[in-house]
Amino acid sequence: MDVTPLVRAAGCALWRRAPSGGGIELALVHRPKWADWSLPKGKLKPDEEARDGAVREVLEETGMTCELGPELPAVHYTDARGRPKQVRYWAAEATGGTFAPNDEVSRLLWLPPEAATQRLTHERDRTLVSALLDALHQAGNGH
């Protein structure tokens, strides 16, 4: 029986307090390969823990260090090669760093939640913005 293995990935809904002092902003990355706007994420290395992979991917794609908060709902879909994919996400506050364009990501945008929701290409990412806001509200970091 041919069973396609699950593609395991992890990422973050990366946020920071808005420089204007009111509310938060989310980091969106533009991936030229897919011509999309998404949340930072990527495939896990063999035997890599999802939490470690999420932090690594944020650093690789955005140049930002982060502190993981609560885990958000996992996303399941079929990838471009027809394989089942699971992406585990965490809320993560940016703690420092500087973005530089790289092979995977050409641009980084910091947007308020409503604008981020409108800019995200995939519906599955939009639902994570709501989950992030709920998690921050429950943790007392309300928007």
Global pTM value: 0.93
Facing residues of 76 across strands? Answer: 86
Spans in the chain with pLDDT lower than 50: 143
The CATH class given to the 7-139 domain equals: alpha beta
Give the pLDDT of residue 102: 93
| 83, 76 contact by CB (below 8 A) | no
pLDDT at 55: 98
In contact, 60 and 42? CB cutoff 8 Å: yes
Residues 6+ apart with CB under 8 A from 58: 11, 12, 14, 40, 64, 65, 66, 92
pLDDT value of residue 54: 98
Residue 22 has a pLDDT of 83
Contacts of 119 (CB under 8 A, 6+ apart): 28, 37, 109, 111
SS (HEC) of the chain: CCCCCCEEEEEEEEEEECCCCCCEEEEEEEECCCCEEECCEEECCCCCCHHHHHHHHHHHHHCEEEEEEEEEEEEEEECCCCCEEEEEEEEEEEEEECCCCCCCCCEEEEECHHHHHHHCCCHHHHHHHHHHHHHHHHHCCCC
pLDDT at residue 20, as a whole number = 82
Domain ranges of the chain: 7-139
